[in-house]
Structure 1
């Protein structure tokens, strides 16, 4: 019943870019805030602010039950939101707010994939595509790195961002490089920042409070692909609306929901929203690399836990 109510609320929110945080996601946010630092740190030693601590980590505490990865600091801290203006520099949506950015790159990390979609755009546009900067690259001595793809997170997959008491959907569109003095986390395109905090966000003015939760979803099912999103949209509202349905499905992983994501039996089919298999997060349909990632009686077939390839 809890998940059926959630689904009804999400359907009613269709077309609304800045939606209220659903109860399951809010409970998740509150529990992480109360817990403090995560236990399963996939990578740590990152900074949210230049003058702050390097206690921020990519957290895998809920990989096995909810199949999600997120950013978490120590105590009640999550991450902040610096502004990224990389990608298409002019054209749609450009109102000059990126003009004072001191660190703008001509392309984003997955420019080749965007162009390969052949949707009339050559790269992500920071004003149009609400994308998250997730992952850290670099080769400096002692530099902290993290590759989300090693944990099944796919380029241009949908991510959920809890910010300013709102839930915004974006895509994983860029990575943090080693062009600065410190390995940083907590950055998003100016359009995503605008959705969260309004037009006061500029290329040189972001959100400094560490209260933003970034949630990534491993698995091919989190990728909208060429035809699952409006890549040629004229506004961030139009693009965000085009991935809303997929985002609504993915957040059901948190506290139960879609069996295809290892999040429990489907409440829409009479299920209770919780896993019946003995290893939550590794049930039928969950993403996997080897048979060890799947609960009995399933095996890892074509990247999914199951028994019959024709059904996957």
Structure 2
């Protein structure tokens, strides 16, 4: 009993450390799409957030053009709820018994093979350690509502931002909704994500019922931390979430700059981290000289050298004008980069 109390206390302490206030641009974005009501560009619709509720929830593409994001939206002021997912690695790491109430736990997540392929000492995502979001709907039932995020450029294990309980939490796209239930559902996340949002009262059979949770997905390869861009072998969800914070902060800088995006200026927390070794990276394993297999394993302005298999400086037409270089205008950046005027560095805007 004493050990259980200490574990719960640690989890609650981690929540207070990791949880961050919602930046102004994200708050304005949330409020503007809430006030608008129904999504105009429904990429897929007819989903439920509750078994006994309406099937009026949609994957919304209203802000693909101006912010390059996709999110879940209900009608009126509704977003989605947060049901609890306990799928994935079942080795007891971080397990405090709260998933024991779940009657629908699967031993693997949708992207188990990719996680194992990272070779970070884990075979799959762990619901207690990795704050992942269940996003997308698959299945073979006749008439079943489906949505494939990859058709819109969203990559497996890419960063997702979740606005919940007046907090902003970063996670990854880690699982999909199958057709094993009676209805096609949206609004589900791992128990660690639910803990970050709503505390340790969340368990395998007790989620958050209000439709006020905003799930934001980011199309593009730049949203994927890759093998070395996150602490996949972390011992706690707060450690994992902290390891993807830098990339999450850069991604949310997309939001609020276009028409209808809600306006506002991101807080300073959205600014890229101080360079390590002169180059931007979010995790020591993705800095210059780190081992790599693909570009996704390396930091913002680094590439994976195909011969040496190490992260190295991005080549470009003019030294000092590469990806991640400081800039004041587009003329300061080498093709195909442009200047991110808000934060003053060369970047690649996702298509």
**Equivalence for 1:287:** 350
Secondary structure class of the residue paired with 1:44: strand
Q: Is the 8 A contact 1:168 1:196 kept in 2?
A: yes
Secondary structure class of the residue paired with 2:241: helix
d(CA) in 2 for partners of 1:43, 1:287: 22
**Equivalence for 1:203:** 204
d(CA) in 2 for partners of 1:268, 1:79: 31
d(CA) in 2 for partners of 1:227, 1:47: 36
d(CA) in 1 for partners of 2:349, 2:153: 11
Larger radius of gyration: 2
- Could you tell me which of 263, 266, 276 is aligned with 2:340? 266
d(CA) in 1 for partners of 2:39, 2:148: 18
Q: Is the 8 A contact 1:168 1:195 kept in 2?
A: yes
**Equivalence for 1:169:** 170
d(CA) in 1 for partners of 2:165, 2:242: 19
d(CA) in 1 for partners of 2:342, 2:46: 42
- CA gap of 1:200–1:150, structure 2 versus 1, over 3 A, is same
- CA gap of 1:102–1:269, structure 2 versus 1, over 3 A, is closer
Secondary structure class of the residue paired with 1:181: coil
Q: Is the 8 A contact 1:112 1:123 kept in 2?
A: yes
- CA gap of 1:270–1:137, structure 2 versus 1, over 3 A, is closer
Q: Give yes or no for the alignment of 1:97 onto 2:82.
A: no
Q: Which runs of 4+ in 1 moved over 2 A?
A: 267-271, 284-288
Q: Deviations over 1:206-247 (max 9, x none)?
A: 000000000000000000000000000000000000000000
Secondary structure class of the residue paired with 2:35: helix
d(CA) in 2 for partners of 1:127, 1:90: 11
Q: Is the 8 A contact 1:16 1:241 kept in 2?
A: no
**Equivalence for 2:136:** 135
The structural deviation recorded for 1:89 is 1.5
The structural deviation recorded for 1:285 is 3.1
Normalising by structure 2, we get a TM-score of 0.71
**Equivalence for 2:302:** none
**Higher mean displacement: 216-225 or 82-91:** 82-91
**Equivalence for 2:8:** none
Segments of structure 1 that go 5 or more residues without pairing to the other structure are 1-14, 272-283, 289-312
Q: Give yes or no for the alignment of 1:126 onto 2:127.
A: yes
Q: How does 1:142-161 map to 2 (within 5 A)?
A: 142-161=143-162
d(CA) in 1 for partners of 2:192, 2:17: 15
The size of the alignment, in residue pairs, is: 257
The RMSD of aligned alpha carbons is 1.8
The structural deviation recorded for 1:91 is 2.3
Q: Deviations over 1:234-277 (max 9, x none)?
A: 00000000000000000000023xx9xxxx84135659xxxxxx
d(CA) in 1 for partners of 2:343, 2:220: 23
Normalising by structure 1, we get a TM-score of 0.80
Secondary structure class of the residue paired with 1:253: coil
d(CA) in 1 for partners of 2:149, 2:218: 10
- CA gap of 1:76–1:120, structure 2 versus 1, over 3 A, is same
**Equivalence for 1:31:** 32
Segments of structure 2 that go 5 or more residues without pairing to the other structure are 1-15, 258-332
d(CA) in 2 for partners of 1:16, 1:241: 10
